[in-house]
Structure 1
Amino acid sequence: MKPVNAVITKIVDETPTIRTFFFDTSFESIPGQFVMVWVRGVDEIPMALSYENAITVQKVGPATTALFELEVCDSFGIRGPFGNGFELREGHILLVAGGVGAAPLAPLAEKASLSGFGVTTLLGAKTKEELLFSERFEAAGKLMTATDDGSKGKHGYVTQLLAGAKNYSQVYCCGPEVMMKKVLDMAVPANAQFSLHRYIKCGLGICGACCIDGLRVCKDGPVFSGDVLKIRDFGVYRRDECGRKVKV
Structure 2
Amino acid sequence: MRPINARIIDIVNETPTIRTFFFDTELKSENIGQFAMVWVRGIDEIPMALSYNNAITVQKVGEATSALFDLNIDDSIGLRGPYGTGFTLPENNKKKSEVLIIAGGVGAAPLAPLAEKMSGNQGTNIKVTTILGARTESELLFESRFNNSGMLHITTDDGSCARCGFVTDVLSELDLDQYDMIYICGPEIMMSCIFDILQSKQCLHKTEFSLHRYFKCAIGVCGACCIDEEGLRVCKDGPVFRGTRLQNSELGKYKRDSSGTIVPCY
Pick the TM interval, shorter chain: over 0.9
Which segments of structure 1 move beyond 3 Å, counting only runs of 4 or more? Answer: none
> Residue 236 of structure 2: which of 219, 225, 237 is its match?
219
- The alignment status of 1:111 with 2:112, answered yes or no, reads no
Aligned-pair CA distance for 1:67: 0.1
Aligned-residue sequence identity (percent) comes to 60
What corresponds to 2:143 in structure 1?
134
In 2: Cα distance, 1:39 partner to 1:232 partner? 32
**Paired residues for 1:15-164 under 5 Å:** 15-29=15-29, 30-90=31-91, 91-114=97-120, 115-164=124-173
More deviation in 167-176 or 1-10? 167-176
Residue by residue over 1:109-137, the C-alpha shift from the partner in whole angstroms, topping out at 9 and shown as x without a partner, is: 01111210000000000001100000000
Counterpart of 1:194 in structure 2 is 209
Q: 224-233 vs 12-21, which deviates more?
A: 224-233
Ranges in structure 1 where 5+ consecutive residues have no aligned partner: none
Structure 2 gap segments, 5+ residues each: 92-96
Greater Cα shift, 8-17 or 179-188: 179-188
> For residue 195 of structure 1, what is the amino acid of its counterpart?
S
For the residue of structure 2 that corresponds to 1:65, the secondary structure is helix
Contact 1:201 1:207 in 2 (8 A): yes
Question: How far is 1:182 from its partner?
Answer: 1.2
Query: Paired residue for 2:222?
Result: 207
What is the deviation of 1:218?
0.1
Correspondence 1:179 to 2:196: no
* Count of matched residue positions in the alignment of Structure 1 and Structure 2: 248
Give the secondary structure class of the aligned counterpart of 1:109: helix
**Do 1:8 and 1:22's aligned partners in 2 also have CA atoms closer than 8 Å?**
yes
d(CA) in 1 for partners of 2:67, 2:6: 15
Letter in 2 for 1:99: G
Matched position secondary structure for 2:86 = coil
8 Å CA contact 1:48–1:55 kept in 2: the answer is: yes
RMSD: 0.8
